[in-house]
Structure 1
Amino acid sequence: MYDIFIDTHFAGAHHLRDYPGDCEKPHGHNWKVRVTVRAAKVDKCGMGMDFTLLKKVVKEVIDLLDHHDLNTLPYFQEKNPSSEYIAEFIYGEVRARLTDDNHRIFSVRVLETDTQGLIYYGPEGPKF
């Protein structure tokens, strides 16, 4: 079993609707993101997943968020653009773009700052 990951980042603005505090006001972050893919085995080249392909897929998804007001994006019309839902969005978009049965998305880590963040494992992730 192999966990392959890409670290990236994006800048964006958001506000949390109905939040009782400062985050209800429009503000921005430079989010850091780690997308981890799990592979059961390596291919004939000795790779669980080619980094070039993973970088391409992750960039396509991050470009949907980078330098946007997240509250204006369709996904966040019904959901607050919290780090939790940002991770869920990235997870779903990456998952939809991975078509090889040998690897699948495992987790998405989102950091709002260097000292706070979360990891989303998807709907079938570890049990609570």
Structure 2
Amino acid sequence: MYDIFIKTHFAGAHHLRDYPGDCEKPHGHNWKVEVMVRAAELDNCGMGIDFKILKRIVKEVIDKLDHHDLNTLPWFQEKNPSSEHIAEFIFEGVSDLLPDDNCSLQRVMVMETDSQGLYYYGK
């Protein structure tokens, strides 16, 4: 097995509805993201998935979040744009675009700051 990952980031604004504190006010973060896929086998070039392909897929999903007010996006109309829900959004988006042949999405890491974040492994 091979676990292959890429790291990226995005900037965005949000506020947490019904949060009992400062996070209920509009504010922004520079979120850091790591996406990991698992390959059972290598292709003819000796790769589980080309980093270029994985970066392109992740960028397509991240571009929907980058420099946006997350509360205005349709996906977050019923869900607070918490880091947990952001990780779920990224996981679902990447899963939908990932080629079905040899790789499976294992986890998405989202960090709000350099010292706090979470891993999401899917449902």
| Normalised TM-score (structure 2) | 0.99
- Measured after TM superposition, the shift of residue 64 of structure 1 is 0.3
* Amino acid aligned to 1:76: F
User: 1: distance between equivalents of 2:27 and 2:103?
Assistant: 36
Query: What residue is the counterpart of 1:62 in the other structure?
Result: 62
2:24 is the alignment partner of 1:13? no
User: 2: distance between equivalents of 1:33 and 1:50?
Assistant: 18
**Structure 1 residues 93-102 or 27-36, which shifts more?**
93-102
User: 1: distance between equivalents of 2:5 and 2:25?
Assistant: 33
Unaligned runs of 5+ in 1: 124-128
User: 2: distance between equivalents of 1:67 and 1:42?
Assistant: 36
SS at match of 1:17: coil
- Measured after TM superposition, the shift of residue 76 of structure 1 is 0.1
User: 2: distance between equivalents of 1:97 and 1:49?
Assistant: 13
1:7-58, Cα deviation, whole Å (9 max, x unpaired): 0000000000000011000000000000001111111110010000001000
Query: What residue is the counterpart of 1:4 in the other structure?
Result: 4
* Amino acid aligned to 1:14: H
User: 2: distance between equivalents of 1:76 and 1:84?
Assistant: 12
- Measured after TM superposition, the shift of residue 104 of structure 1 is 1.2
* Amino acid aligned to 2:94: V
Query: What residue is the counterpart of 1:82 in the other structure?
Result: 82
2:48 is the alignment partner of 1:48? yes
Structure 1 runs of 4+ aligned residues shifted over 3 Å read none
Unaligned runs of 5+ in 2: none
